[in-house]
């Protein structure tokens, strides 16, 4: 019973951290893809 309570409190504490971490990763990937896209467009424009 104690371990379950501990686990539950741990989840409650770590939940915002996990969410924040997930969003940071998401943001990073989106920004990285965006930068690649910009770079590709720039490259195509300079090529022509």
Domain boundaries, given as residue ranges, for the chain: 1-48
Q: Look at residue 2 and tell me whether its pLDDT is greater than 80.
A: no
Confidence at residue 20, expressed as pLDDT on a 0 to 100 scale? 92
**Would you give the DSSP letter of residue 48?**
-
State the Rg of the chain over Cα: 21
Q: What is the mean pLDDT of residues 1-22?
A: 85
What integer pLDDT is reported at residue 21 of this predicted model? 92
The Cα–Cα gap between 39 and 43 comes to 6
Confidence at 23, pLDDT banded by 50, 70, 90: very high
The whole-chain average pLDDT of the chain stands at 85
Exposed e or buried b per residue across 16-35, where buried means at least 16 C-beta atoms within 10 angstroms of its C-beta: eeeeeeeeeeeeeeeeeeee
pLDDT band of residue 11 (cuts 50, 70, 90) is confident
């Amino acid at each position: 019973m104690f371990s379950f309570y501990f686990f539950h409190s741990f989840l409650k504490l770590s939940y915002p951290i996990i969410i924040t971490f997930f969003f940071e990763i998401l943001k990073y990937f989106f920004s990285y893809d965006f930068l690649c896209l910009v770079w590709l467009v720039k490259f195509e424009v300079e090529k022509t």
